[in-house]
C-alpha cells in the first residue's frame, strides 16, 4: 500500500500565545511550532498499515520553520520511507490553502491511501482531509479511530457521538481524517532523529501560493475574557435551588 | 610397586592409604581423575562463556587490592548481617585452609611420592606435620561451626531467601533451594566426615601422642575408643571412602552449581566498579544503542549473572520489589543467567532454568525481561550497595532500557516527559522562559550569570524551578545565600534539565542534547564554582559532563556558612529524622553535612533504621517520577513515611535535601494520613526557621 500522510505544524501552546499587531492572527514571529496531535495519530495509523501491508509511506508538511523540518525528520525516524517539505510558508494559513498545497503535491503520485489528522488545533473546522478528497475525487471518511486492511481495501471505524461507532468498508484509493490511531503514537529516540537528519530521505518541494478564492477570512482575534471567578453554592438542595433561582432571576433569565 | 612408593612410614606423620590394596588406590585415582576432568570441562565452558562477552576495561591494581581486602575480611558479607558474615568468614577461611591442606597432601604424596618417586623429598611429617594438623583442625572446626550457623539461618527461612517471584511469571524455583541445600550440606558432610575419619584413624593407630594437636580428631578418637582398634580401623576404611567420594563429588559438582560462586565471586569482586552506576558508560554505536541480545553483554555483565548466590539482599532492599512492582533485582539477574546459560548451552546440575521461553528469545529487553520490569527500577543503587559480590545491576538495566527506547517501547508518562524535555528542556511541559519564574517571589533579584560574573553559579534543576513545593525550597535557599552575602546567580532560561534521569531512563540521545545545551550555557556564563540544590543534577554534573565541574551540594555550602558564622542560627526544639537522598548518599557519598546542619538548628537527629548507605529510595529516581505509579501496592515514599512515623510522636520533622524528596514525601504524608503527625521540611527551610528565633541583642 502506498500511503501519504499530510501533517501540519501548529503553534506550540507551551509558549505564551500573543495576537499580532494586525489583530487577525497570532504574532508568528515568536511562535514555536509542534506537530498537530491528530496528524501524529494519522502518521501512527499509517505506519501500522504500512507494517501490515508493506508498501511505502511518505510524510508531507508545509512551511519553512525548523520545527517543520524536525517534524519530517521525526517521521522518517519513526519509519516513513520518505518525507517532503513544501518549502514555503503559506501567506494565509487555513484549511483551504493547506488542502490546495497538499493536493498539488500528491496529485498524480499514485497513492492508495491519504491520511491526515481529523482537525488541527489552529483550524477547528476540520476540513483538510475532506477538501483533499473532494479535490482528488476520492472517497473519504472522517473521525476515524481505526483503519485495518480488509480484502483489497480497508475496514474503517468512525466515531460518532455518545459512544456510537460505525464500521465501514472502503475501496482504495481513499482519504481518511484520523482522530486516533489504534495505538498511542510511538516514541522515537533522539539518536534516531539525528540519524534521519543525515539520511537524506527528506526532500524539498516547491509550493505555489494557492488562489485565495472561497476561503474563510478572520476579521478579528481576541484573547478570551477572564471572568471574576466562580461562586461555590453552599447548603442543602433547597438552599442551593433558591440561590440558583436568584442568580437566574438577577440575570433576567427567568 | 607404583602405589606403594609414597607410603613410607615416618615417626611423626600419617599414611594416606594405610592398609589399602593397590586396586583400591587405583580406583581412587581413577575417580579423582574423572572428578577433576568434569570440573575442568565445565569450568572451561563457563570461562568460554565469559570470554565471549564484549570487552570492558576492568583490570586494575586498585580493584584487585580492594577485592583482596573484601575477600580476606568477608566485610561485604558481614555488612548489616554480622552473624552471616562471621559464619561465612569461618567457612571461607576453613575452606581455603582445608583446600591448602589437601593440596599439600597431593603435592607430598601424589606428586613427590607417587609421580616423582622421591620419598626423600617429602616434607609432610615431623614438626611440619604437627603444625599442619593443629592448623587444619582449628580451621576445620571453624568451617563446620560456620556451616552449621548458616544452615540454622537458612532453616529459619528469612524472607530474603524465599524465591517466590514478585511478578506473575510461572517459574519453577525448586532447583534453587535444592542446590542451596545440596551445596551447604555437602560441605558440612565433607567437614564432619573428615573429623570422624581423623578420630577413627587416631583410635585405630593406638593414639599416637603427637596427634593430640588434632584437637577435634583426638576428642572423637576418645569417644570412639570403645569400638576397639579393629572396630575403629574398619570404621576408618568406610569413612575414608565416604569422605573421599564426597570430596570428589564436590569437585565435579562445583562448576555445575552454586559452588561456582567460590571462583566467580572472587573474580567478580576483583573486577567490580562501584561507580559504574554513577558514571554510566556511553553508547558505542548510536545506530544500535543498548543491549539487544545476550551477545551485547560485556564479560563483566556475564560474570555478574553467574556471581549471584541468591542471597536475596538486593531483593530485600529494593524499593521496586517492596512496592509490589514486577522488578526484583535478584530475579532480574537470575532470569538473565538462565537466558545466558541457555544461549551458551550450559546447564546447572538441577536442570535448565524453568522460566518458560527464556532459551528461545534473542531480544532481551521486553522479552526475557519484561518492559514493565525494566521501567520499575528507580536506579537508587541500593542493590549494588548491598550486593556482597559486586554485581552491577543498574548499568545492565540502563543498557536494556536503551534498547527499549530505541525500539520505541517507552512507558506513556516517560514518553511525554521525553517529548517535553526535547522541546523545551524541562519535563513540566512549560516554556523555557518560565524557568526562573519562581524567583519572582523573592524581594531581591537574582543575577543572571550569563550577563554578569558571579562567584557561585547555582544549578537549580527542573523540580526546584517548576514544582511549587520544591520551588518554595529554592526560594529559601536563595534567601539563605543572600543573607550569607554570597555572590551568586542562575542561568535563567539557559538552564536545561541535566539529563541525569533521562540518561538512566535509557534516552542517551536526549541526554546528550540536554548536556550539550547546558555546557553551552555554562560556557556563556562567568563563575568560580557551581552548586546545585538537586542531587540528581549533582551526580550528572560531577561525573557525566565533559566540563568536569567542581560542583557542591547546597548543604555542603550552607554547612560552611553555619560553621564559619556567616549564618547565625537560634535554637529549635524537638526531634527530626533525616532522609538520605540516593543521589547524594550512595551516589555521591555525602552523609554528614546535612546532619550537622540539622543539629546546628538545635534539633536532635533520630535515625531511621534504613539510613545513610542503606537509605530507602523515595521512588522518584531513574525517570520513575514521570511514570505512572498507580499500580504499586505501596509507594516507596509511603513505606518510608511509615518508617519515620514509627520512630515515635516526638519526631516532628522529616528532613529532606532533594527537590524530588520534597514532592514525593509531601504526597506520601497525605496519602498515608499523616498530616499533622510529621512535617516534610527541607534543610534550607529548617535553617530559616532557626534564624527567625535568633535571640535579639
Its domain, for residue A6, covers 2-205
Mark B223-259 as b/e (b = at least 16 C-beta within 10 Å).
ebeeeeeeebbebbbebbbebbebbbbbbbbbbbbbb
Nearest to A191 among B424, B431, B509 (CB): B509
- State mean pLDDT over B442-452: 96
- HEC string of B290-345 equals CCCCHHHCEHHHHHHHHHCCCCCHHHHHCHHHHCCCCCCHHHHHHHHHHHHHHHHC
DSSP B80: T
Chain A residue numbers touching B406 (CB-CB < 8 A)? 189, 191-192
Q: N- to C-terminal Cα distance for chain A?
A: 60
Alpha carbon A100 to its chain's center: 15
CATH of B426-561, one of 3.40.50, 1.20.1250, 1.10.3470, 3.90.1530: 3.40.50
Taking CA atoms, what residue in A is nearest to B286? A191
Q: Is residue A240 part of a domain?
A: no
Total count of domains within chain A: 1
How far apart are the CA of A191 and the nearest CA of chain B, in angstroms?
A: 5
Confirm if B147 and B188 have CB atoms less than 8 A apart: yes
- Check CB contact of B412 with chain A, cutoff 8 Å: yes
Opening angle at CA A216, ends A215 and A220, nearest 5: 145
pLDDT tens-digit series, residues B148-206: 999 999 999 999 999 988 887 777 788 899 999 999 999 999 999 999 999 999 999 99
pLDDT tens-digit series, residues B23-72: 999 999 999 999 999 999 999 999 999 999 999 999 999 999 999 999 99
Cis amide bond preceding A173, omega within 30 = yes
- State mean pLDDT over B589-616: 97
DSSP B348: B
DSSP B373: H
| Confidence band of A96 (pLDDT split at 50, 70, 90) | confident
Residue that is written with C-alpha cell 490553502 in the block: A97
- Least confident residue range of B119-123, B217-221, B615-619: B119-123
This complex has an ipTM of 0.85
pLDDT tens-digit series, residues A176-217: 999 999 999 999 999 999 999 998 889 999 888 877 666 777
In DSSP terms, B682 is beta-bridged to B656
Q: Is the dihedral of CA B527, B532, B537, B541 positive or negative?
A: positive
Side by side, which strands form the sheet with A165-170? A165-170, A153-159, A140-150, A174-178, A113-117, A2-7, A56-62, A82-86, A202-205
In DSSP terms, A86 is beta-bridged to A62, A205
CATH number, domain containing residue A128: 3.40.50.620
Task: Say whether A176 sits in a helix, a strand or coil.
Answer: strand
Cα separation, B518 vs B549, whole angstroms: 12
Quote the mean pLDDT of chain B. 94
Chain B residue numbers touching A33 (CB-CB < 8 A)? none
| Confidence band of B356 (pLDDT split at 50, 70, 90) | low
Q: Is residue A78 part of a domain?
A: yes
- The three grid cell numbers given for residue B195, joined into one nine-digit string: 573429623
Chain A residue numbers touching B408 (CB-CB < 8 A)? 78, 186-189
Measured in degrees and rounded to the nearest 5, phi and psi for residue A31 equal -85, 145
Domain boundaries, chain B: 22-269, 284-299+306-406, 426-561, 563-692
- State mean pLDDT over B196-223: 95
What distances in angstroms separate CA B178 from CA A195, A227, B348, B683, one per listed residue?
51, 73, 12, 50
What distances in angstroms separate CA A14 from CA B427, B469, B681, one per listed residue?
12, 21, 31
Task: Say whether A165 sits in a helix, a strand or coil.
Answer: strand
Can you give the pLDDT at residue B209?
93
User: Closest by alpha carbon to B664, among B585, B592, B571, B579?
Assistant: B579
Q: N- to C-terminal Cα distance for chain B?
A: 103
CATH 2.40.50 fits B22-269, yes or no: no
Confirm if B166 and B114 have CB atoms less than 8 A apart: no
Q: Is residue A192 part of a domain?
A: yes
Residue that is written with C-alpha cell 613427590 in the block: B112
- State mean pLDDT over B342-352: 80
pLDDT at B627 over 80: yes
Cα separation, B690 vs B172, whole angstroms: 58
pLDDT tens-digit series, residues A17-54: 888 888 888 888 778 899 999 999 999 999 999 999 99
| Confidence band of B13 (pLDDT split at 50, 70, 90) | confident
CATH of B563-692, one of 3.30.300, 3.40.50, 1.20.120, 3.90.550: 3.40.50
Can you give the pLDDT at residue B351?
67
Cα separation, B282 vs B305, whole angstroms: 21
B543 or A231, greater pLDDT: B543
| Confidence band of A225 (pLDDT split at 50, 70, 90) | confident
Confirm if B554 and B531 have CB atoms less than 8 A apart: yes
- State mean pLDDT over B87-114: 95
Can you give the pLDDT at residue B10?
52
User: Closest by alpha carbon to B360, among B332, B339, B337?
Assistant: B339
- State mean pLDDT over B373-394: 98
Can you give the pLDDT at residue B33?
96
Cα separation, B465 vs B435, whole angstroms: 6
B556 or A163, greater pLDDT: B556
CATH of B284-299+306-406, one of 1.10.10, 1.25.40, 1.10.357, 1.10.1060: 1.10.1060
User: Closest by alpha carbon to B661, among B554, B584, B573, B609?
Assistant: B584
| Confidence band of B121 (pLDDT split at 50, 70, 90) | very high
- The three grid cell numbers given for residue B541, joined into one nine-digit string: 554534573
Q: Under an 8 A CB cutoff, do A190 and B509 touch?
A: yes
- State mean pLDDT over B457-468: 97
Confirm if B633 and B323 have CB atoms less than 8 A apart: yes
Can you give the pLDDT at residue B359?
64
User: Closest by alpha carbon to A119, among A85, A97, A95, A150?
Assistant: A95
pLDDT at B697 over 80: no
Give percent of chain B with pLDDT exceeding 90: 88
Q: Which residues contact B209 (CB under 8 A, 6 or more apart)?
A: none
Q: Is residue A210 part of a domain?
A: no
B269 or B114, greater pLDDT: B269
Chain B residue numbers touching A32 (CB-CB < 8 A)? 423
Can you give the pLDDT at residue A126?
79
Q: Is residue A243 part of a domain?
A: no
Long-range contacts (CB closer than 8 Å, 24 or more residues apart) made by B100-109: B101/B132, B101/B135, B101/B136, B102/B247, B104/B132, B105/B16, B108/B6, B109/B6, B109/B16
Picking from A190, A197, A198, A199 by the largest number of B CB atoms within 10 A of its own CB, the best residue to mutate is A190
- State mean pLDDT over A149-177: 94
Cα separation, B304 vs B293, whole angstroms: 16
pLDDT tens-digit series, residues B124-153: 999 999 999 999 999 999 999 999 999 999
Can you give the pLDDT at residue B666?
97
- The three grid cell numbers given for residue A184, joined into one nine-digit string: 498511542
Q: Under an 8 A CB cutoff, do A34 and B423 touch?
A: yes
How many residues are present in chain B?
Answer: 697
User: Closest by alpha carbon to B503, among B541, B529, B534?
Assistant: B541
Cα separation, B688 vs A142, whole angstroms: 60
Which stretch of DSSP H or E encloses residue A117?
Answer: strand A113-117
Cα separation, B232 vs B249, whole angstroms: 25
Chain B residue numbers touching A190 (CB-CB < 8 A)? 422, 507, 509-510, 512-513
- State mean pLDDT over A221-250: 87
pTM for the model stands at: 0.92
Q: Under an 8 A CB cutoff, do A192 and B510 touch?
A: no
What distances in angstroms separate CA B297 from CA A40, B117, B360, B369, B388, one per listed residue?
35, 49, 17, 14, 21
Q: Under an 8 A CB cutoff, do B509 and A189 touch?
A: yes
Q: Under an 8 A CB cutoff, do A190 and B289 touch?
A: no
How far apart are the CA of A209 and the nearest CA of chain B, in angstroms?
A: 30
| Confidence band of B7 (pLDDT split at 50, 70, 90) | very low
Please tell me if the domain spanning B426-561 has the same topology as the one spanning B563-692: yes
Can you give the pLDDT at residue A31?
84
Can you give the pLDDT at residue B8?
43
Cα separation, B668 vs B618, whole angstroms: 9
Cα separation, A138 vs B3, whole angstroms: 98
How many residues are present in chain A?
Answer: 254
Picking from B431, B496, B497 by the largest number of A CB atoms within 10 A of its own CB, the best residue to mutate is B431
pLDDT tens-digit series, residues B241-269: 999 999 999 999 999 999 999 999 999 99
Amino acid at each position: 500500500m502506498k500511503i501519504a500522510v499530510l501533517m501540519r505544524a501548529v503553534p506550540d501552546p507551551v509558549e505564551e500565545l500573543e495576537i499580532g499587531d494586525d489583530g487577525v492572527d497570532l504574532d508568528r514571529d515568536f511562535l514555536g511550532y509542534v506537530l498537530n496531535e491528530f496528524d501524529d495519530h494519522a502518521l501512527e495509523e499509517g505506519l501500522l498499515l504500512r507494517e501490515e501491508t508493506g508498501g511505502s509511506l511518505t510524510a508531507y508538511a508545509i512551511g519553512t520553520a525548523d520545527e517543520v523540518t524536525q517534524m519530517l525528520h521525526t517521521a522518517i525516524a519513526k519509519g516513513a520511507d520518505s518525507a517532503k517539505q513544501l518549502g514555503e510558508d503559506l501567506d494565509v494559513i487555513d484549511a483551504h490553502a493547506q488542502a490546495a498545497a497538499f493536493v498539488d503535491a500528491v496529485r498524480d503520485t499514485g497513492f492508495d491511501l491519504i491520511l491526515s489528522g481529523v482537525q488541527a488545533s489552529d483550524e477547528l473546522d476540520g476540513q483538510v482531509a475532506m477538501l483533499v478528497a473532494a479535490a482528488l475525487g476520492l472517497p473519504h471518511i472522517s473521525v476515524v479511530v481505526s483503519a485495518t486492511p480488509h480484502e483489497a481495501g480497508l475496514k474503517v471505524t468512525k466515531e460518532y457521538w455518545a459512544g456510537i461507532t460505525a464500521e465501514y468498508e472502503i475501496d482504495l484509493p481513499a482519504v481518511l481524517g484520523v482522530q486516533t490511531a489504534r495505538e498511542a503514537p510511538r516514541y522515537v529516540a533522539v539518536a534516531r532523529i539525528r540519524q534521519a537528519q543525515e539520511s537524506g530521505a527528506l526532500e524539498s518541494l516547491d509550493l505555489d501560493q494557492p488562489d485565495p478564492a472561497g476561503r474563510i477570512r478572520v476579521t478579528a482575534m481576541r484573547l478570551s475574557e477572564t471572568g471574576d471567578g466562580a461562586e461555590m453554592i453552599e447548603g442543602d438542595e433547597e438552599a442551593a435551588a433558591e440561590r440558583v433561582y436568584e442568580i437566574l432571576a438577577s440575570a433576567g433569565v427567568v | 610397586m607404583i602405589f606403594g612408593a609414597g607410603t613410607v612410614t615416618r615417626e611423626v606423620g600419617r599414611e594416606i592409604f594405610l592398609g589399602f590394596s593397590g586396586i583400591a588406590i587405583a580406583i581412587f585415582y581413577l575417580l579423582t581423575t574423572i572428578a577433576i576432568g568434569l570440573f575442568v570441562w565445565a569450568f572451561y565452558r563457563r570461562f568460554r562463556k565469559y570470554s565471549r562477552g564484549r570487552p570492558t576495561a576492568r583490570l586494575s591494581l586498585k580493584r584487585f587490592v580492594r577485592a583482596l581486602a573484601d575477600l580476606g575480611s568477608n566485610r561485604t558479607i558481614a555488612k548489616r548481617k554480622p552473624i552471616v558474615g562471621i559464619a561465612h568468614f569461618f567457612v571461607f577461611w576453613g575452606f581455603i585452609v582445608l583446600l591448602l591442606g589437601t593440596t599439600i597432601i597431593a603435592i607430598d604424596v601424589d606428586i613427590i611420592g607417587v609421580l616423582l618417586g622421591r620419598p626423600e623429598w617429602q616434607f609432610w611429617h615431623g614438626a611440619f606435620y604437627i603444625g599442619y594438623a593443629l592448623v587444619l583442625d582449628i580451621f576445620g572446626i571453624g568451617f563446620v561451626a560456620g556451616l552449621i550457623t548458616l544452615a540454622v539461618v537458612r532453616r529459619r527461612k528469612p524472607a530474603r531467601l524465599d524465591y517466590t517471584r514478585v511478578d506473575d511469571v510461572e517459574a519453577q524455583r525448586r532447583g534453587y533451594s535444592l542446590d542451596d541445600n545440596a551445596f551447604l550440606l555437602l560441605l558440612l558432610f565433607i567437614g564432619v566426615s573428615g573429623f570422624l575419619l581423623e578420630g577413627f584413624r587416631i583410635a585405630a593407630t593406638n593414639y599416637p601422642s603427637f596427634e593430640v594437636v588434632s584437637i577435634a580428631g583426638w576428642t572423637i578418637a576418645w569417644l570412639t575408643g570403645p569400638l576397639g582398634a579393629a572396630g575403629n580401623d574398619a570404621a576408618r576404611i568406610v569413612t575414608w571412602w565416604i569422605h573421599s567420594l564426597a570430596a570428589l563429588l564436590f569437585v565435579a559438582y562445583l562448576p555445575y552449581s552454586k559452588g561456582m560462586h567460590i571462583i566467580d565471586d572472587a573474580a567478580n569482586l576483583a573486577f567490580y566498579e562501584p561507580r559504574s552506576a554513577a558514571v554510566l558508560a556511553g553508547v558505542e554505536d548510536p545506530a544500535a544503542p543498548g543491549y539487544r541480545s545476550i551477545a551485547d553483554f560485556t564479560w563483566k555483565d556475564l560474570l555478574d549473572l553467574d556471581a549471584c548466590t541468591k542471597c536475596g539482599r538486593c531483593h530485600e532492599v529494593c524499593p521496586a520489589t517492596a512496592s509490589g512492582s514486577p522488578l526484583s533485582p535478584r530475579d532480574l539477574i537470575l532470569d538473565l543467567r538462565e537466558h545466558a546459560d541457555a544461549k551458551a548451552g550450559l546447564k546447572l546440575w538441577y536442570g535448565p532454568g524453568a522460566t518458560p521461553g527464556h532459551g528461545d528469545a534473542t531480544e532481551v529487553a521486553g522479552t526475557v525481561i519484561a518492559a514493565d520490569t525494566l521501567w520499575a527500577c528507580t536506579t537508587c543503587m541500593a542493590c549494588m550497595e548491598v550486593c556482597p559480590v559486586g554485581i552491577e545491576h543498574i548499568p545492565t538495566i540502563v543498557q536494556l532500557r536503551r534498547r527499549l527506547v530505541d525500539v520505541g517501547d517507552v512507558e506513556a508518562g516517560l514518553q511525554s516527559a521525553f517529548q517535553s524535555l526535547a522541546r523545551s528542556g524541562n519535563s513540566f511541559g512549560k516554556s523555557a522562559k518560565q524557568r526562573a519564574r519562581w524567583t519572582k517571589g523573592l524581594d531581591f533579584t537574582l543575577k543572571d550569570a550569563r550577563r554578569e560574573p558571579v562567584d557561585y553559579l547555582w544549578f537549580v534543576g527542573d523540580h526546584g524551578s517548576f514544582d511549587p513545593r520544591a520551588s518554595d525550597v529554592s526560594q529559601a535557599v536563595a534567601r539563605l545565600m543572600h543573607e550569607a552575602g554570597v555572590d551568586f546567580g542562575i542561568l535563567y532560561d539557559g538552564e536545561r534539565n541535566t539529563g541525569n534521569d533521562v540518561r538512566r531512563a535509557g534516552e542517551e540521545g536526549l541526554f546528550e542534547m540536554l548536556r550539550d545545551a547546558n555546557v553551552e550555557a555554562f560556557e556563556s556564563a562567568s563563575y568560580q564554582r557551581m552548586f546545585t540544590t538537586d542531587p540528581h543534577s549533582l551526580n550528572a554534573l560531577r561525573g557525566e559532563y565533559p566540563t568536569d565541574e567542581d560542583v557542591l551540594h547546597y548543604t555542603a555550602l550552607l554547612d560552611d556558612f553555619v560553621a564559619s558564622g556567616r549564618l547565625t542560627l537560634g535554637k529549635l526544639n524537638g526531634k527530626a529524622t533525616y532522609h538520605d537522598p540516593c543521589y547524594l548518599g550512595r551516589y555521591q557519598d555525602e552523609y554528614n553535612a546535612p546532619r550537622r546542619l540539622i543539629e546546628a538548628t538545635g534539633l536532635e537527629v533520630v535515625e531511621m533504621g534504613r539510613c545513610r548507605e542503606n537509605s530507602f529510595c523515595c521512588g522518584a529516581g531513574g525517570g520513575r517520577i514521570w511514570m505512572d505509579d498507580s499500580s504499586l501496592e505501596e509507594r516507596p515514599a509511603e513505606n518510608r513515611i511509615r518508617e519515620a512515623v514509627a520512630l515515635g510522636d516526638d519526631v516532628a520533622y522529616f528532613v529532606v535535601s532533594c527537590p524530588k524528596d520534597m514532592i514525593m514525601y509531601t504526597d506520601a504524608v497525605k496519602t498515608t494520613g499523616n498530616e499533622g503527625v510529621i512535617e516534610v521540611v527541607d534543610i534550607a527551610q529548617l535553617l530559616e526557621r532557626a534564624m527567625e528565633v535568633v535571640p535579639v541583642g
